[in-house]
């Protein structure tokens, strides 16, 4: 089996149905069971595909956080040990899910550091990680169980300053004392909304082996990335293959650098919990 004991999920709402349908081959190429998750009041229903429903339609706010919790609970009803969880605008270009993701019980995501100057003070609680966990997500059922255990009763209350699911996943990880890490082969850019971001993402796929992609909303933008991944010349040296592209992001971290990052994140979790009384 290509990816043993793994289920692929795609989260969206009825307005995303065309995106999910168009990209279906990018979710089925993992040769794993596939589940589409959507709200009770904005269902995605695709013939021949396992579709489950939970929560209410909402882009931000408490309903969106409660829906995310509901969807994680739904995934726990399946028998698989590992889960690749996409939004309707994310995907893994590689049919084979990277092996390093299976090595530890870590909440993996396209981890984005918030360096926006206007959000450095008064936006995040003091000491809270200035991060967003953007899709895809990869985690074991042990990780999901840990995240859900800390919100078994009341869910985290929506914070208007941290209004998105990307921030909710950070808050869950901190409250649950769950180790997190960013994909070493992922990018999260507004690929569908910015041509230069699309060029940089293409370069990252073609020359740095990137496979975890966000955000792509149509074949116009994800098909060139899939073609770059499948190009037999992939990873050959040619740093500026597309006119107008900016220099590529830094190279992938070494194993030692990844281990140092994980240790740093462990310390950050403990420090943040002590500072804010967050407990599972």
User: Mind listing the pLDDT tens digit for each residue in 109-130?
Assistant: 999 998 877 777 777 877 789 9
User: Mind listing the pLDDT tens digit for each residue in 2-22?
Assistant: 999 999 999 999 999 999 999
3-state secondary structure of 262: helix
Q: What is the pTM of this model?
A: 0.85
Is residue 234 within 8 Å of 206, Cβ to Cβ?
yes
User: What is the pLDDT, as a whole number, of residue 126?
Assistant: 75
Q: With a cut of 50, which residues of the chain have pLDDT below it? A: 237-253, 273-280
- Residue 251's contacts (CB-CB under 8 Å, 6 or more residues apart) are 208
Is residue 136 within 8 Å of 85, Cβ to Cβ?
yes
**Ramachandran region of residue 61, left (φ > 0), alpha (ψ -120 to 50) or beta?**
left
User: What is the pLDDT, as a whole number, of residue 263?
Assistant: 62
Q: Which domains are assigned to the chain?
A: 6-184+252-276 (3.90.550)
């Amino acid at each position: 089996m290509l990816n043993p004991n793994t289920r692929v999920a795609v989260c969206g709402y009825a307005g995303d149905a065309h995106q999910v349908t168009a990209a279906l081959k990018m979710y089925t190429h993992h040769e794993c069971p596939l589940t589409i998750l959507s709200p009770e009041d904005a269902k995605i229903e695709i013939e021949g595909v396992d579709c489950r429903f939970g929560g209410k339609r909402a882009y931000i706010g408490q309903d969106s956080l409660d829906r995310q919790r509901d969807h994680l609970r739904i995934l726990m009803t399946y028998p698989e040990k590992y889960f690749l969880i996409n939004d309707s605008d994310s995907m893994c270009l590689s049919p084979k899910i990277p092996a390093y993701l299976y090595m530890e019980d870590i909440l993996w995501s396209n981890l984005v550091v918030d360096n926006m100057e206007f959000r450095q003070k008064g936006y995040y609680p003091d000491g809270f990680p200035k991060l967003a966990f953007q899709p895809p997500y990869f985690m074991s059922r042990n990780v999901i169980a840990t995240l859900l255990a800390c919100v078994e009763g009341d869910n985290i209350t929506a914070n208007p300053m941290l209004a998105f699911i990307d921030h909710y996943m950070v808050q869950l990880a901190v409250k649950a004392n769950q180790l997190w890490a960013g994909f070493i082969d992922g990018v999260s850019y507004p690929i569908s909304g910015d041509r230069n971001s699309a060029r940089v993402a293409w370069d990252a796929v073609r020359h740095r082996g990137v496979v975890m992609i966000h955000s792509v909303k149509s074949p116009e933008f994800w098909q060139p990335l899939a073609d770059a991944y499948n190009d037999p010349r992939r990873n050959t040296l040619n740093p500026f293959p597309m006119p107008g592209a900016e220099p590529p992001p830094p190279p992938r971290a070494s194993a030692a650098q990844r281990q140092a990052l994980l240790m740093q994140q462990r310390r950050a979790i403990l420090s943040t919990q002590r500072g804010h009384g967050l407990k599972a």
